[in-house]
Amino acid sequence: MSVTAPPTPSCALHSAGTCRSCPHLSRPLSDQLASKQSLVASLLAEHVPAGLWEPPAASAPERFRNKAKMAVAGTLARPTLGILDGAGHGIDLRTCPLHVPAIEATLPVLADLITALGVRPYDVPSRCGELKYVLVTASPDGDLMVRFVLRSRRHLERLRAALPGLQQALPQLAVASVNIQGVHQAVIEGPEEIILTEEERLLMRLSLPTPSASTSTVRCSEDVELPLYLPTRSFFQTNTAVAEALYATARAWAQELEPARVWDLFCGVGGFALALAAPGRRVLGVEVSASAIDGARDAAALMGLNPALVRFEAGDAHVLDPDAPGADVSGVCGAQSPDLLVVNPPRRGIGEQLAARIEASGVERMLYSSCNPRTLAADLARLPSMRAVRSRLFDMFPHTDHAEVLVELVRG
Ligand X SMILES: C[S@@+](CC[C@H](N)C(=O)[O-])C[C@H]1O[C@@H](n2cnc3c(N)ncnc32)[C@H](O)[C@@H]1O
Residues contributing to the site for ligand X (CB under 6 A): 235-237, 266-269, 271-272, 286-289, 292, 316-318, 344-346, 371
Work out how close the CB of 43 gets to ligand X at its nearest, in angstroms, rounded to a whole number. Answer: 18
Residue 250 or 309: which CB sits closer to ligand X?
250
Of 142, 203, 201, 148, nearest in space to 175 by CA = 201
Work out how close the CB of 41 gets to ligand X at its nearest, in angstroms, rounded to a whole number. Answer: 22
Residue 287 or 339: which CB sits closer to ligand X?
287
Work out how close the CB of 348 gets to ligand X at its nearest, in angstroms, rounded to a whole number. Answer: 9
d(CA 388, CA 409): 4
Which residue of the chain is nearest ligand X when measured via CB?
Answer: 268
Cβ(283)–Cβ(262) under 8 Å?
A: yes
Work out how close the CB of 114 gets to ligand X at its nearest, in angstroms, rounded to a whole number. Answer: 30
d(CA 203, CA 295): 9
Work out how close the CB of 250 gets to ligand X at its nearest, in angstroms, rounded to a whole number. Answer: 9
d(CA 366, CA 180): 39
Among 19, 96, 267, 371, which one carries the catalytic annotation? Answer: 371
Q: What is the torsion angle, in degrees rounded to the nearest 10, for the CA atoms of residue 27, residue 85, residue 109 and residue 155?
A: 150
* Angle between helices 156-169 and 101-117 in degrees, nearest 10: 130
Cβ(190)–Cβ(179) under 8 Å?
A: yes
Residue 148 or 394: which CB sits closer to ligand X?
394
Q: Is 311 helix (H, G, I), strand (E, B) or coil?
A: strand
Give the other-Cβ count within 10 Å of 392's Cβ: 24
Full 3-state SS string of 349-388: CCHHHHHHHHHHCCCCEEEEEECCHHHHHHHHHCCCCEEE
The residues, ordered by sequence, that sit 6+ positions from 370 with a Cβ below 8 Å of its Cβ are 344, 345, 349, 376, 379, 404, 405, 406, 407
Which amino acid would we find at residue 381? A
Q: How buried is 240 (Cβ within 10 angstroms: 0-12 exposed, 13-18 middle, 19+ buried)?
A: buried
Work out how close the CB of 362 gets to ligand X at its nearest, in angstroms, rounded to a whole number. Answer: 21
Residue 8 or 66: which CB sits closer to ligand X?
66
**Residue 220 designated active-site:** no
Residue 233 or 387: which CB sits closer to ligand X?
233
- ∠ CA 345-271-398, rounded to 5°: 70
Residue 171 or 326: which CB sits closer to ligand X?
326
Active site residues: 371
